[in-house]
Structure 1
Amino acid sequence: MRAFFLKVAAVIAFAAPAQAFDTNATSAWVYDVQTGTVLMEKDADKPIPPASMSKLMTLYMLFEALEDGRVQLDTQLPVSSRARAMGGSTMFLNEQDRPTVEQLIKGIIVLSGNDACVVVAEGLAGTEEAFARQMTERGRQIGLENSTFHNSNGWPHPEHRMSTHDLGTVARLLIQKFPQYYKNFGLTEFQYEDRAPSNRYNRNPLLKLGIGADGLKTGHTQEAGYGLVGSAVQDDRRVIFVISGLDSDRARAEESERIVNWAFRQFTMENLVPAGETVVDAPVWLGTESHVGLTTENGVNVLVPAGVKDQVKVEVVYDSPLPAPIAKGDQLGNLVVTIPGTRDTITPLIATADIPEAGFLGRMKGAVIQLGQRAISSVAN
């Protein structure tokens, strides 16, 4: 006997539109780490020239090399003539220098050293070209869908591209996977071998504002405009944001601060489903029990725009009835939270108990009940 399944979508509440943030950036992405919520996006998946912000991927590759033991913080790397000849922002390295990996990390983060990136690229892959190919390949593996690298430092190239979404993804991974190295992003100054004392300050405009900012990287070229990958922590929340295409250093600083204030002030954390709470008792087809509870693994916390707590749409979606056998922990549906202006939050719903398949008599009884329900439905229609 065949079961006839119905997609169930139980609506708990209905949502009304929330006011979106209007950014002056040409491309932007704002993300709440704790809830995994994209708070705002604007052309976030469009490949754009990332300028020095793409140095974050170089640092990601270097941090992975530290983790797997290919280099240590005190490993010294040689400086090639190619690295020494790099223009733009530099550590002022020369061929006689042997900077350590730790110094290179600080030089890339604080001084935005183009030369330091080439030293890292050549030290890890032999050539910068080989390193750029490795960056692109590794980027695909970690979820960078709109990134192609042709150098290690963001030097202008017609095919060197990243999206603001991809930049935000790298930032999130740096924060979550490498906390021991991420602390360097909060450094406000660094000087290598007493060189260029006036050029020792971090360009991140948010670090000294007292708003919880602790990273990550600025970028600027004529083609890209002014951009910033930033992150800030207030109370138990961390926000990551990426902006690009601003027309001045001042505009970048003002827009960055405006976004941070908006992200922390406009949203409040709401616990919609406590951990372990049963969301729904779903009908079971041909099982030893007629229903099974569906719950979430860790509960559901969402960010709700201020003043619209009662305007959130929550749907419980599953195929009904659920066929036995069912094992505790099986994913059987989803809880979908919709807040206009942000992407839907989708949380898996899992079974709270084992439901074995019924024996022969139980299956026959279930089939009879199902036929009866179909007959009633046909009469009603």
Structure 2
Amino acid sequence: MKKISIALVLLIFISSIVYSDDLNTGLKGALLADFESGKIIYSYNIDEPIEIASITKLMTYTVAMDEIKKKKLNLDEYVDIGENPPKEYGSTYRLKIGERIKLQKLIESMLIASANDSCVALSEHIVGSEEEFVNLMNKKAKEIGLKNTKYINSNGLPENEKQNLMSMKDILTLTRYVLKTYPEILDITNKEVLKKGKIVFKNTNPLLTRIEDVDGLKTGYTEMAGYCLVSTMNVPKSQNNDKEFRFIGITMGAKSKPERTKRSYNLLDYGLKNYSYKKLVEQGQNVQESVVVNGKNKTIEAIAKEDIYALVKKDSIITQKVEIIEECKAPIDKGQYLGKVLYYLGEEKIAEGDLIAKSDVEKKSYITDILNYIKGIFCNVCIS
């Protein structure tokens, strides 16, 4: 059982809020989220499975990196392009018969230039056939909890009027998984160009040169999917932002490249102007004085075990709820768990953290109490 106390925390973040009614205009879907917590702060049509085009390559990369992690292959090994090089259309790495390409370069071309032929070459090199590789992709989708996802190939191109499908919520889950498990992907996706001899391939991500701190992640286009972009940017600590964090923005189904760029830019800009991470309590801060049972001290400070932050809108009023164990019985050791502090925005819990004892509290000695009582009586008699 716990004692619960509720208080209105004087954390009111006020500023001029920018509202955007057209973030999803002309799109099949739009989503903006915090990478660390997964909190979605803007969404439109995020549950319906839709065509994803080359957004597929985020899963292709994930499966390839899983095999590298298992030490079944390494990034420095060479891939031989045989008598039947992948003849995929659209964006390619211009693979030719007899080429020997490092696995690292195939992966880079897949992410930077969105090379469709590199995906097929990669798939065949890793498990012998693209069909078997796609089985691994769908198996991985189930493993990480993608509920509205189906892959039919490794690059996202149409096949017999069918395409790879994902919901935007699944795209977010996959993106967070990739960034957590293989953060080195950003060392590739933040490059503006990739060279192959004298050929220069430009990064297909239009936001790399338009928004500071954008460092990924993947574009996509087919006629059915429209123009798509999963973007991500690191937001540094600043005067208005108490800690560094990362946005993930997803725009799907734009009708043109300029429209994709505009909507993706607006989505991230909306997040930057309206949301920030705020420190709700500092490590070691006294959150509540708690009564101690049978202690030499009658109360003890329940302090925050660590800093607690939350991503909040800049007009937020946050409430605090403190849950302390029903009886704080002495003896109590410094650092001992005493309860929790929870923070809410309306009914939504946005953060929580442990409360611990600031200091030791010894158990009260009843013999000492009795002796002090007798001593008090004796002194009173003497004075009389």
Quickly name the TM-score band, shorter chain normalised. Answer: 0.7 to 0.9
Q: Which amino acid aligns with 1:72?
A: N
Whether contact under 8 Å (2:11, 2:317) holds in the other structure is yes
- CA shift for structure 1 position 78: 3.5
State the match for 2:142 in structure 1: 140
Q: Which amino acid aligns with 2:9?
A: I
Structure 1 pair 285–43 and aligned structure 2 pair: CA distance change class (3 A)? farther
For residues 68 and 79 of structure 1, the distance between their equivalents in structure 2, rounded to whole angstroms, comes to: 24
For residues 143 and 360 of structure 2, the distance between their equivalents in structure 1, rounded to whole angstroms, comes to: 38
Structure 1 pair 207–354 and aligned structure 2 pair: CA distance change class (3 A)? same
The yes-or-no answer on 1:270 pairing with 2:278 is yes
State the match for 1:338 in structure 2: 345
Once the two structures are overlaid, the 10-residue window that deviates more, 285-294 or 210-219, is 285-294
Whether contact under 8 Å (1:91, 1:107) holds in the other structure is yes
State the match for 1:368 in structure 2: none
What is the percentage of aligned positions where both structures have the same residue? Answer: 24
For residues 76 and 43 of structure 1, the distance between their equivalents in structure 2, rounded to whole angstroms, comes to: 42
For residues 256 and 57 of structure 1, the distance between their equivalents in structure 2, rounded to whole angstroms, comes to: 21
SS at match of 1:227: strand
For residues 275 and 19 of structure 1, the distance between their equivalents in structure 2, rounded to whole angstroms, comes to: 32
Structure 1 pair 318–135 and aligned structure 2 pair: CA distance change class (3 A)? farther
Aligned-residue CA RMSD in angstroms?
3.8
Which structure has greater strand proportion?
2
SS at match of 2:234: strand
State the match for 2:381 in structure 1: none
The structure having more radius of gyration, on CA atoms, is 2
State the match for 1:161 in structure 2: 165
Whether contact under 8 Å (1:20, 1:40) holds in the other structure is no
Summarize the alignment of residues 303-314 of structure 1 with structure 2, pairs less than 5 Å apart.
303-306=311-314, 308=315, 311-314=316-319
SS at match of 1:216: strand
Paired residue total: 348
State the match for 1:178 in structure 2: 182
- CA shift for structure 1 position 296: 4.9
Structure 1 pair 115–334 and aligned structure 2 pair: CA distance change class (3 A)? farther
For residues 215 and 128 of structure 2, the distance between their equivalents in structure 1, rounded to whole angstroms, comes to: 32
- Residues 181-226 of structure 1 deviation map (CA, whole Å, 9 limit, x = unaligned): 421101222243445x5xx211111112252221111111222221
Summarize the alignment of residues 1-381 of structure 1 with structure 2, pairs less than 5 Å apart.
9-12=6-9, 21-22=20-21, 23-24=23-24, 25-33=27-35, 37-79=39-81, 84-156=86-158, 158=162, 160-194=164-198, 200-236=201-237, 237=244, 238-280=246-288, 296-306=304-314, 308=315, 311-316=316-321, 318=323, 321=326, 332-333=339-340, 335-338=342-345, 344-352=349-357
For residues 291 and 97 of structure 2, the distance between their equivalents in structure 1, rounded to whole angstroms, comes to: 72
* TM-score when normalising by structure 2: 0.75
Structure 1 pair 305–30 and aligned structure 2 pair: CA distance change class (3 A)? same
Structure 2 unmatched runs, 5+: 238-243, 367-384
- CA shift for structure 1 position 247: 1.4
Structure 1 pair 321–255 and aligned structure 2 pair: CA distance change class (3 A)? same
For residues 282 and 274 of structure 1, the distance between their equivalents in structure 2, rounded to whole angstroms, comes to: 19
Structure 1 pair 255–96 and aligned structure 2 pair: CA distance change class (3 A)? same
- CA shift for structure 1 position 54: 1.7
Q: Which amino acid aligns with 1:262?
A: Y
Structure 1 pair 107–323 and aligned structure 2 pair: CA distance change class (3 A)? same
Structure 1 pair 203–289 and aligned structure 2 pair: CA distance change class (3 A)? same
Structure 1 unmatched runs, 5+: 362-381
